[in-house]
Amino acid sequence: NAKKIDNGVGGENSVVELPEYKAETIRVFHSPRTNIAHKLELGIKPSKNNRQVAIFLPPTYATNSNKHYPVLYVQDGDEYIMRALAAAIAAREINSGKVTSFIIVFVDPINRIKEYWANDAFADFMAKELVPMIDKNYRTIKSRDGRALLGASLGGVQSVWTYMKYPDVFARVGGQSSAFWIDDERTVKRLTEFDFTNHNARFYLDAGTFGDGRETSKRVAEMLKARGVDVTYVESNAGHNWTAWRDRLAGAFVALMRE
């Protein structure tokens, strides 16, 4: 198979596209990082390592100094920039008017498995350290309704977990192919028991039909809808990979960041 793709772990995977497959059609003429305005390094306690955070600013940020913007916090930040073309897709969706203008904070993990495994300490970092820093340095909407979370696989689980620990900080949460199966569905059980009465939320969940935990993601979406939560659920004939998450990303942005 001459068609291959970087698999992100030092090798390549063969790619098979069936006749009805429709790929994300965005064309990036420059680096996927072109739309990234700033890249910061944070010394986050208790780690001595620096954590990289990249900032996407919408096209009108520099020209409209009176406007404040909602913020989407994205896990696996650099992967979303390079593999999912997140900054380029966001700029396109904003320019087309399909979604309100918003800021994206791309967050990279230091120890991904540990930090994204429904981790309270990482949720604390997001809510208590990162959000205040972003609110201080950028023109953000400083309320829960102006903040969203998004991640893929374990990043989706951690996004949901962070929302549940800090529902007063975040109101919107998205998970692409969320790994809800970890720890005997610990995150799902907690979500089932979560009290949404005083914490309105907006969810986006998606999954592929090929070995991607679709049954669990669909069950979670149906449970949330039955409880009156605003949920968008999307399936596609794809697997557990960045190509699929890239192809569904525009829809995730619209679902989470619409007015």
pLDDT tens-digit map of 120-172: 999 999 999 999 999 998 999 999 999 999 999 999 999 999 999 999 999 99
Q: What is the pLDDT of residue 27?
A: 67
Written as one letter, the residue type at 187 is T
Q: What is the pLDDT of residue 51?
A: 76
Q: What is the pLDDT of residue 46?
A: 43
Residues in the chain: 259
**pLDDT winner (highest mean) among 1-5, 77-81, 143-147:** 143-147
The share of the chain scoring above pLDDT 90, in percent, equals 70
* CA 87-187-44 angle, 5° bins: 55
Q: What is the pLDDT of residue 10?
A: 67
Q: Is the pTM of this model over 0.85?
A: yes
Q: Is pLDDT above 70 for 47?
A: no
Tell me the mean pLDDT in the region 203-211: 94
Exposed/middle/buried for 98, CB within 10 Å: 0-12, 13-18, 19+? Answer: middle
Tell me the mean pLDDT in the region 30-52: 62
Q: What is the pLDDT of residue 75?
A: 97
Q: What is the pLDDT of residue 170?
A: 98
